């Protein structure tokens, strides 16, 4: 964030500007929200891109559209490009030529853009499947590979507060103590699940004719919300192991594992 906010000072010190991030983790952990927050923090426009927007069944069309996207992005730069499901661009298409070699050509074309020393676009790639070609993850193309795991208890408390008081400005009488209690009860829940919990509580209050959302409505929503806790834990363990393998910052990884209570 610091060099992106003050690029002139960074240049004077011989510091290269950041190139991009890969965010990986299960769905619902806030990868898209992170990209939006970063763009706002550094004051840069955000452009969201999904491979399905330009991958075509017509030979040569996908490559042409990607060239146009790259050209437009660099004309608009500095800009943050958020690419969802970036893993779809992160393979050489070595499984055969069933798509006429389109996957391989897109991979090569995208790799050239990532490695271009004159690239001014900051790219954030999001994926649930981070095992992409090693060349794709090489230093100089992305600065960091960042795991996005389920929120810890403090983050869950903050997310509940945001959806009660900021996003929806819910009329409620739920106390800080209540929020802390439900943050503890929702171990392993993703951000989108906590959002859904609040929405269900509001719905329960509305249907009952109440003027405010009370703790009882939140409890009703929690009791009714069927969550496979064991599957969530299993999924989390998988991504923690991937994080240990792919995260390229020891300091960040150790801090993350400590927050998750997963230090060996």
Can you tell me the distance from the alpha carbon of 7 to that of 202, in angstroms, rounded to the nearest whole number? 45
Task: Determine the angle formed by the axes of helices 176-185 and 153-162, rounding to 10 degrees.
Answer: 130
Q: Does the pLDDT of residue 94 top 60, yes or no?
A: no
Q: How confident is the model at residue 246 (pLDDT cuts 50, 70, 90)?
A: confident
Strongest mean pLDDT among 72-76, 94-98, 136-140, 245-249: 72-76
* Residue 142 DSSP code: B
Residues for the chain: how many in total?
Answer: 264
Residue 224 has pLDDT above 90, yes or no: yes
Averaged pLDDT of the chain: 87
β-pairing, 144-147 vs 20-24, is parallel
Secondary element (H or E) of residue 143: none
pLDDT at 162: 95
The percentage of the chain sitting over the pLDDT mark of 90, rounded to a whole number, equals 42
pLDDT in tens, 4-59: 889 899 989 998 888 899 999 888 899 999 999 999 999 999 999 887 777 665 65
Distant-in-sequence contacts of 242-247, Cβ < 8 A, 24+ apart: 242/24, 242/130, 242/131, 242/147, 243/147, 243/149, 246/24, 246/130, 246/137, 246/145, 246/147, 247/144, 247/145, 247/146, 247/147
CA angle 123, 26, 223 (to 5 degrees): 140
- pLDDT of residue 121 exceeding 60, the answer is yes
Name 94's Cβ contacts closer than 8 Å, sequence gap at least 6.
Answer: 104
**pLDDT tens for each residue of 128-178:** 877 777 777 777 888 888 888 889 899 999 999 999 999 889 999 999 999
Residue with tokens 């994926």: 127
Range with the lowest mean pLDDT among 135-139, 198-202, 239-243? 135-139
């Amino acid at each position: 964030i610091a060099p992106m906010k003050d690029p002139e000072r960074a240049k004077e010190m011989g510091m290269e500007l950041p190139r991009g991030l890969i965010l990986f983790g299960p769905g619902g952990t806030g990868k898209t929200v992170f990209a939006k927050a970063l763009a706002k923090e550094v004051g840069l426009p955000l452009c969201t891109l999904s491979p399905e927007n330009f991958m075509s069944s017509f030979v040569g069309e996908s490559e042409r559209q990607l060239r146009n996207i790259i050209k437009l992005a660099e004309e608009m730069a500095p800009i943050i490009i958020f690419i969802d499901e970036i893993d779809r661009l992160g393979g050489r298409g070595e499984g055969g030529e069933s798509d006429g070699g389109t996957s391989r050509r897109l991979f090569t074309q995208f790799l050239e853009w990532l490695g271009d020393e004159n690239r001014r676009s900051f790219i954030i790639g999001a994926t649930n499947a981070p095992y992409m070609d090693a060349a794709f993850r090489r230093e100089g193309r992305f600065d960091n590979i960042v795991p996005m795991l389920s929120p810890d208890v403090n983050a869950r408390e903050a997310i509940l507060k945001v959806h009660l008081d900021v996003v929806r400005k819910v009329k409620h009488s739920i106390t800080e103590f209540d929020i802390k209690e439900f943050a503890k009860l929702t171990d392993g829940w993703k951000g989108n699940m906590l959002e859904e919990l609040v929405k269900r509580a509001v719905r329960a209050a509305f249907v009952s004719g109440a003027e405010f959302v009370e703790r009882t409505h939140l409890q009703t929503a929690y009791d009714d919300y069927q969550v496979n806790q064991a599957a969530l834990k299993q999924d989390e363990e998988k991504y923690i192991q991937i994080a240990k393998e792919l995260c390229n910052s020891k300091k960040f990884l150790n801090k993350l594992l400590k927050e998750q209570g997963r230090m060996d």
